[in-house]
Amino acid sequence: MSRTVEAVVLYEPGKVAVEARRCDEPGPGEVVIAPSVVGICGSDIHLYQDGRIGESVVREPLVLGHEAAGRIAAVGAGVAGFHEGDRVIVEPGIACGQCRFCVRGRYNLCPAVRFLGIPPTNGLMAGGVRVPARWVYHWPDSLSDAEGAMIEPFAVGLQAVEEAGIQPGDSVAILGAGPIGLMILQAARIRGAGQIISIDLAQKPLEMARRLGASAVINPRETDPISAVRELTGGDGADVVIEAVGATPTIKQTLELVRRGGTITLVGIASESAIPLNTTKIVRTGLQLRSSFRYAHQHPVAIFLATAGRVDLRTLITHHFPIGQAPEAFDFVTQHKNDVIKGVVEFTTAG
């Protein structure tokens, strides 16, 4: 048997519709999730605006969304530990589990991964979605569904600071104060960073960064960030610089913000496939250039930290949209990027 559910479907750039979709019963090892809250991620906006993100191109109607919390609607054969009605969240990167990367625990690099909501795989912005139970986690009653939808971007932040190797007391400069930049900020604070400097072109995100623990905020429209960071760090530059924008100017700027021998970690995905960097400077100043892609094994950590009250997931959500207004939601978020920190689509009243 199957059920009919509402889904948010992207047809082409700028065209999103809410339509009825079929959700089949779960197969062996699967559950059906009924999401109640799904976040609108920056990648969703890229797909909405451009019909692509990186090398992933929308070639047929696509159900969007990968940041979701909800309840178990059905349980397939052989699944233990889950029952109908359980509150859960989903890790959306469905890795193969068999390649060398999966076997070594780096399943975020699995070349056969199916990432929900990224072409060609349909996402979680639907009233019912079949998901392998392996990628589903219980969500505590003490936290809201809206907060559960924020675990996925928090996992990105946790992975970024781990890849960056942040040590207690390190000075950290974060380029970008969108949802990912703000999650990196909180993850860096949890990891024991000393001075945390948030850099963004919009005032509202910077105000949010200050609220979430940034020791200094810089708006490049008002202050030269290179001079400001060097002044804040005694002339040296930051120990760690994390780029969470994915823009050519900010990626290049990382080389000027970091101290000699410091670490640069790239998180944002640029629209350009190749960006020239001063490799001589990288080598002669002993810089460590790293990257961070999605996450591996971070969701259990993120859930623990959220349950312990170590991270603020709720404050980042600035806009709520009912499922019936999903098309308007994507248009609004696109047109008000400086004011919307995080928008979410709600299928039911969030718990």
272-301 tens-digit pLDDT: 878 999 999 999 999 999 999 999 999 999
Task: Let me know if residue 330 belongs to a domain.
Answer: yes
Task: Let me know if residue 300 belongs to a domain.
Answer: no
Do 175 and 144 share a structural domain? no
Do 142 and 104 share a structural domain? yes
Cβ neighbors of 333 (< 8 A, separation 6 or more) are 40, 45, 319, 340, 343
Tokens of 252: 């290049």
Do 267 and 177 share a structural domain? yes
Do 203 and 121 share a structural domain? no
- Number of domains the chain is built from: 2
Residue 57 has pLDDT above 60, yes or no: yes
With 0-12 / 13-18 / 19 or more C-beta atoms within 10 angstroms meaning exposed / middle / buried, residue 295 is: buried
Per-residue pLDDT tens digits for 76-127: 999 999 999 999 999 999 999 999 999 999 999 999 999 999 999 999 999 9
Cα-Cα-Cα-Cα torsion 245, 250, 254, 255, nearest 10 degrees, comes to 150
Task: Let me know if residue 307 belongs to a domain.
Answer: no
Do 191 and 109 share a structural domain? no
pTM: 0.96
Q: Contacts for 300-309 with beta carbons within 8 Å, 24 or more apart?
A: 300/137, 301/155, 301/158, 302/151, 302/154, 302/155, 302/158, 303/89, 303/137, 303/139, 303/140, 303/151, 305/154, 305/190, 306/143, 306/147, 306/151, 306/154, 307/140, 307/142, 307/143
Contact 36, 69 (CB under 8 A): yes
The more confidently predicted of residues 1 and 80 is 80
Domain range for 189 is 157-291
Residue 151 has pLDDT above 60, yes or no: yes
Task: Let me know if residue 231 belongs to a domain.
Answer: yes
Mean pLDDT of 202-208: 96
Q: Residue 168: which CATH number?
A: 3.40.50.720
Q: Residue 27: which CATH number?
A: 3.90.180.10
Averaged pLDDT of the chain? 96
pLDDT of residue 54: 80
Task: Let me know if residue 306 belongs to a domain.
Answer: no
Do 241 and 271 share a structural domain? yes
Task: Let me know if residue 212 belongs to a domain.
Answer: yes
Do 231 and 141 share a structural domain? no
Do 141 and 259 share a structural domain? no
Task: Let me know if residue 48 belongs to a domain.
Answer: yes
Residue 134 has pLDDT above 60, yes or no: yes
Do 208 and 102 share a structural domain? no
Do 203 and 337 share a structural domain? no
Residue 351 has pLDDT above 50, yes or no: no
Residue 46 has pLDDT above 60, yes or no: yes
Distance CA 183, CA 342 (A): 12
Do 247 and 287 share a structural domain? yes
